[in-house]
Structures are given as C-alpha cells and as structure tokens.
C-alpha cells in the first residue's frame, strides 16, 4: 500500500470498495445527492494523491509517514501512523462484512470472519502467484462491476409502487452530501500509491466514472429509500433490472474483489505498523502485529455493521489524509506539480468531510487518537528511559 503499484489494481480496488461498502449507505443519507458527494470524494482523493506525490518527489522513501515526521514532527507522525493502521484494519473489516452479506445472507458475520481468516493467511504466508494471474483477477473484478453498470443502465426501471414519506432514509437530501462524501472517500484514498500525480489523476477520474455508473444504476433501479434498506443493493438492483440470472457472476466477482481489497488493506496496515515499529513507536515483532491486525479486523466485523465500519474507517483515513496534506502545505511553488495549493485545499476538505460523516464515527476516531496515541506515547517513554 505504501509503494507504487499498477493502475489496474488501483482502479479495480477503488471501484469494488465503493460498490461494496459506500454506494448503498451514501444513497441512504443523501439520495440522488450522493452523486454530487461522489464528485466531492474524488476531489479530496485527487488533492491528497497530488500532495503525497509531491512529498515523495522531495523525499523518496518507503516509509509512508517519513514526510510527516520530517515536516511536522514526531507526535503528528505517530498519530498519522496510528490512523493509517487502524483505519485500514477497520476498512478491511467493512469490506469483509459487506462481502459476507452477498456470500451468505443468512450468516453474513460467519462469511466475513472466514474471509478475513483466509486473507490473513495469505498475507502472513503469501503464495507464489504469477503477476499475470493477479492482473487477470483484478481485471475480472473490474469487468464485473462495469458489466453490472452496463446491464443496469440498459434496462428501464420499474415504476415505484408506493410513495415515500418526506424525510425517510434515502430521500434526496442535500444536507447529507458531506456525510455521503465521507463514506465514498473510503474507496478513493489509496491513490497516493500511484506514485505520481500524472498517474493518479486520470485513474481517479476513471474510478469516478465507473463508480458513478454503479451509483446511478442503484438509484435508478431501486430508488434511494429501497437502496437505504437493502444490505445488498447491487444484487437487488440487478434483480430489479431483470438480471437475476447474472447474480452468481456478480457474487463471484464481488467476492474475488473483496479478497483482493482486504489483502491490500491488511498489507497496508502491516506496512504502517512496521514503519511505527522501526521508529520505536510500536512494540512487538512482525508476527505479533499480524496477529493483532487479524484479531482487530475479526472483532470489528463481528461487533459492528458494515455501514458503521465504513463510516469509522473513512473518518480515520481522512484524518490520516489531513496529516499528509498538512505536511504538503510547506512545499514551495517550484516543488509542487501544479499551481494549486493541494496541501491547503486537501487539508481543509479532509477535515470538513471527515468531521461531518457521523457523530459515532467522529467519536470513535477521537477515541483511537486519545487511547492509541496515549499507549504509543507510554511505550515510547518507557523505551527511552
């Protein structure tokens, strides 16, 4: 997650994450206004990706928070790393939980736990898979989501059978744009891995286009209120479009995408934990970190619903993005890849969107900073003394 990777995993990972965990909850809080929220989420992603690319150009290192440590100091780097680790673990739990509702609707928690256990084993003892196989898997995931959008757009929706009361979940509500944008950023905050702004910006735009198609299909076929009530909005939208015969292919593609995304998220969490450990911020060896990450992900997927996990993960990762953008604010004009002050703009938007996701998500993020930051400070103090 901290190094430059191919365009296809970035694009497919963003699309499947948004489709699994963000499109339905975003429609629930904003209705058709969630399409505007999608554009705002993409803007936050572009600004953060460009800020990260500009920082890497000045300090090319594998340590994801080295630029934060160098420019903001030890404590901000500690908190940024903490948000990165916990945010990615919670995001993995959210993706696994959402995939579980498609794989085993009667027992989604069981399916989520099984998926997390399998993926953790793949992370700890990765098999020797040819790169071509991985690229094919990502391509299958992307084609699945694109195929869903094409089918849903090609078939006219059925007329609504009932009227919905004003103010019900899923009705069009412009006041829910910021909350929906926060949820939708969950699929778009990994584009700093593209390495350069020239690569990141086109991929973000492509991911936005595909995700926009998915959101339009869900809203067009189901409507906001039905999407708000559905634990599997893509499956229900496909059935509403008279495409239920394609459901096994949709489920298979989403399950494969969930495995790939969860693996990338857990890998990223372990990389961030390793960076903290290398600077004396985190105790234990790598195997202890892997066990802690797995236990936290499994516990979160069992205890909380995927929608709430998505809110918490988005708030945590937007906090991490705020630190990255804050570090980029100090770059002079000749060290930036564009005339736009991406650091300042990205910092403001990350904070504004993050604090407006939901009160439980904001409270959880504050708790992570207070408790986790205090624990890391205590460990650092004991190590020094």
pLDDT at 166: 64
Segment 286-309 shows an average pLDDT of 90
* Range 22-43 average pLDDT: 94
* Residue 167: exposure state from Cβ atoms within 10 A (0-12, 13-18, ≥19): exposed
Q: pLDDT-derived band of residue 339, with 50, 70 and 90 as boundaries?
A: confident
* Residue closest to 218 by CA, chosen among 207, 229, 208: 229
Tell me the average pLDDT across 128-142: 91
The pTM score is 0.93
pLDDT at 165 over 70: no
Of the candidates 144, 170, 161, the residue with the CA atom closest to the CA atom of residue 243: 144
Tokens of 72: 């903001």
**Residues near 288 by Cβ (< 8 Å), separated by ≥ 6?**
none
Give the model confidence (pLDDT) of 94-107 as tens digits.
999 999 999 999 99
How much is the mean pLDDT over the chain?
88
Rounded mean pLDDT, 111-125: 92
Structure tokens belonging to residue 350: 């990350």
At residue 162 the predicted structure's pLDDT band, cuts being 50, 70 and 90, is low
User: Count H helices, E strands: the chain?
Assistant: 17, 0
Provide mean pLDDT across the span 303-327. 93
Whether 1 shows a pLDDT value over 50: the answer reads no
Query: How many of the other CB atoms lie within 10 Å of CB of 93?
Result: 29
pLDDT of residue 194: 66
The CATH H-level (homologous superfamily) assignment of domain 7-384 is Amino acid/polyamine transporter I (1.20.1740.10)
CA 211 to chain centre: 13
Interatomic CA distance for residues 140 and 343, integer angstroms: 35
What is the Cα–Cα distance from 330 to 350, expressed in whole angstroms? 17
Segments in 18-107 forming alpha helices (H): 23-30, 34-58, 66-72, 74-103
Residue 179 in tokens: 């909350």
Instruction: Reduce the DSSP state of residue 348 to 3 states and report it.
Output: helix
| Cα gap 333→351, rounded to integer Å | 23
Quick one: pLDDT at residue 95? 97
Q: Report whether pLDDT(64) > 60.
A: no
Looking at residue 4, its pLDDT comes to 46
Q: What is the mean pLDDT of residues 262-268?
A: 92
Closest CA to 47 of 240, 204, 215, 278: 204
Mean pLDDT is lowest, of 76-90, 150-164, 168-182, 220-234, for 150-164
List Cβ neighbours of 248 (8 Å cut-off, separation of 6 or more): none
Q: What is the pLDDT of residues 172-223, one digit of tens each?
A: 999 999 999 999 999 887 776 666 777 778 888 899 999 999 999 999 999 8
Determine the pLDDT at residue 2. 37
User: What is residue 164's predicted lDDT score, i.e. its pLDDT?
Assistant: 62
pLDDT of residue 156: 82
Q: Which of 61-70, 130-139, 234-243 has the lowest mean pLDDT?
A: 61-70
**CB distance 227 to 27 below 8 Å:** yes
pLDDT at 63 over 70: no
128: alpha, beta or left? (left if phi > 0; alpha if psi -120 to 50): beta
* 231 contacts 85 by C-beta, under 8 angstroms: no
Residue 311 has pLDDT above 70, yes or no: yes
Per-residue model confidence (pLDDT) at position 22: 94
Domain boundaries, the chain: 7-384
How far apart, in Å, do the first and last CA atoms of the chain sit? 33
Q: Are the beta carbons of 52 and 63 closer than 8 angstroms?
A: no
Q: How many angstroms separate the CA atoms of 232 and 238, rounded?
A: 10
Q: Which residue has the higher pLDDT, 155 or 182?
A: 182
């Amino acid at each position: 997650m901290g190094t430059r990777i191919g365009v296809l995993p970035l694009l497919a990972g963003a699309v499947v994450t948004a489709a699994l965990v963000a499109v339905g909850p975003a429609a629930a809080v904003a209705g058709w206004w969630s399409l505007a929220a999608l554009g705002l989420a993409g803007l936050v992603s572009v600004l953060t990706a460009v800020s990260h690319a500009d920082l890497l150009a000045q300090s090319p290192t594998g340590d994801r928070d080295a630029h934060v440590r160098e420019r903001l100091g030890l404590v901000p780097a500690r908190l940024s790393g903490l948000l990165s680790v916990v945010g990615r673990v919670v995001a993995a739990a959210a993706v696994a939980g959402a995939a579980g509702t498609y794989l085993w609707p009667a027992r989604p928690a069981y399916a989520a736990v099984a998926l997390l256990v399998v993926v953790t084993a793949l992370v700890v003892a990765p098999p020797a898979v040819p790169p071509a196989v991985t690229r094919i898997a990502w391509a299958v995931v992307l084609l699945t989501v694109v195929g869903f959008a094409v089918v849903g757009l090609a078939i006219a929706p059925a007329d609504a059978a009932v009227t919905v009361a004003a103010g019900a979940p899923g009705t069009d509500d412009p006041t829910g744009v910021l909350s929906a944008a926060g949820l939708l950023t969950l699929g778009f905050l990994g584009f700093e891995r593209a390495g350069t702004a020239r690569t990141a910006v086109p991929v973000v735009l492509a991911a936005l286009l595909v995700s926009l198609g998915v959101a339009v299909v869900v809203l067009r076929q189901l409507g906001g209120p039905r999407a708000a009530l559905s634990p599997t909005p893509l499956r229900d939208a496909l059935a509403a479009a008279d495409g239920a015969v394609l459901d096994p292919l949709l489920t298979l593609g989403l399950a494969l995408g969930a495995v790939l995304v969860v693996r990338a998220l857990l890998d990223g969490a372990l990389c961030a934990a390793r960076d903290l450990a290398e600077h004396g911020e985190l105790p234990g060896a790598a195997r202890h970190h892997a066990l802690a990450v797995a236990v936290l992900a499994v516990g979160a997927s069992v205890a909380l619903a995927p929608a709430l996990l998505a809110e918490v993960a988005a708030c945590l990762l937007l906090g991490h993005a705020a630190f990255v953008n804050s570090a980029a604010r100090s770059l002079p004009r000749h060290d930036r890849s564009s005339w736009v002050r991406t650091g300042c703009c990205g910092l403001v938007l990350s904070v504004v969107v993050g604090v407006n996701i939901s009160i439980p998500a904001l409270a959880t993020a504050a708790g992570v900073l207070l408790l986790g930051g205090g624990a890391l400070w205590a460990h650092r103090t004991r190590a020094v003394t």
